[in-house]
């Protein structure tokens, strides 16, 4: 692994951020073993720095201990965990659509801007940027609830999914994803709220089933 650029953040923060970025862009997919000595050598930092960085990532639920505490691994979600996360996502996004339906203003503008930003990101063909823009669309939707607590909860759900998303999302999926986002926003703009909810459930269910299939095939 190439060295990380140093800046004013602590070495631990830099290593944690660098490893997190590699998990989020698919370089370190779920199930990847992480050895402290190997990471210390490749990143040219002390082993203690790597260990502290991994402890930070464990707190974020991105890595887990393995081999009786002698090693680390990028966390692999179980199918039941995926199901639970998407159950929560559906409830939160339902609340967001209901908030938009009840609003007397125009809450859809920021969501439409995020979808436009997603289209711009897709033109770059940069996968990390596209994934980030996609997730921002969902976060902007949840912001329509007006609850920062719900936004924070939703952000944690997305963080748990991010390493696996980087694996299952492929360039061939991007046109369909953009089309679905535009359809969803268009339905809300037209006031077709039940159809918008159905579209949301369809999109989330597809991603959920794709993730579970990926997990089951990788552990078969």
Residue ranges of domains in the chain: 11-74, 79-219
Q: For the domain 79-219, what is the CATH code? A: 1.20.120.530
Radius of gyration of the chain measured on its C-alpha atoms:
19
Tokens 């692999």 belong to which residue? 76
CA 69, 73, 75, 79 dihedral sign is negative
* CATH topology for the 11-74 domain: Arc Repressor Mutant, subunit A (1.10.10)
Around Cβ 191, how many Cβ atoms within 10 Å?
10
Judge whether 68 and 118 are in contact, CB under 8 Å: no
Rounded Cα gap, residues 48 and 55, in angstroms: 11
Rounded Cα gap, residues 189 and 181, in angstroms: 12
Does residue 40 sit in helix, strand or coil?
helix
Name the nearest CA neighbour of 66 among 24, 25, 35.
35
pLDDT tens digits along 2-40: 555 555 468 999 999 999 999 999 999 999 999 999 999
pLDDT per residue as tens, the chain (220 positions): 555 555 546 899 999 999 999 999 999 999 999 999 999 999 999 999 999 999 999 999 999 998 777 789 999 999 999 999 999 999 999 999 999 999 999 999 999 999 999 999 999 989 889 999 999 999 999 999 999 999 999 999 999 999 999 999 888 889 999 999 999 999 999 999 999 999 999 999 999 999 999 888 877 6
For residue 68, the model assigns a pLDDT of 73
Q: List all residues 6 or more positions away from 185 whose beta carbon is below 8 Å from its beta carbon.
A: 108, 111, 112, 115
pTM for this predicted structure: 0.87
């Amino acid at each position: 692994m190439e060295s990380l650029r140093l800046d004013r953040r602590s070495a631990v923060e830099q290593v944690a951020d660098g490893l997190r970025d590699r998990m989020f862009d698919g370089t370190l997919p779920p199930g990847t073993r992480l050895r402290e000595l190997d990471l210390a050598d490749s990143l040219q930092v002390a082993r203690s720095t790597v260990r502290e960085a991994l402890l930070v990532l464990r707190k974020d639920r991105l890595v887990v201990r393995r081999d009786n505490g002698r090693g680390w691994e990028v966390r692999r979600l179980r199918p039941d965990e995926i199901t639970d996360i998407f159950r929560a996502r559906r409830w939160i996004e339902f609340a967001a659509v209901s908030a938009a339906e009840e609003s007397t203003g125009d809450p859809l503008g920021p969501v439409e801007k995020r979808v436009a930003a997603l289209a711009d990101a897709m033109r770059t063909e940069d996968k990390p940027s596209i994934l980030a823009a996609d997730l921002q669309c969902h976060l902007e939707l949840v912001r329509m609830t007006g609850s920062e607590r719900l936004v924070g909860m939703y952000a944690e759900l997305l963080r748990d999914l991010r390493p696996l998303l980087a694996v299952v999302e492929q360039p061939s999926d991007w046109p369909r994803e953009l089309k679905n986002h535009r359809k969803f926003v268009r339905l809300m703009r037209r006031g077709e709220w039940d159809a918008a909810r159905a579209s949301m459930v369809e999109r989330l269910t597809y991603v959920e089933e794709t993730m579970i299939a990926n997990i089951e095939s990788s552990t078969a």
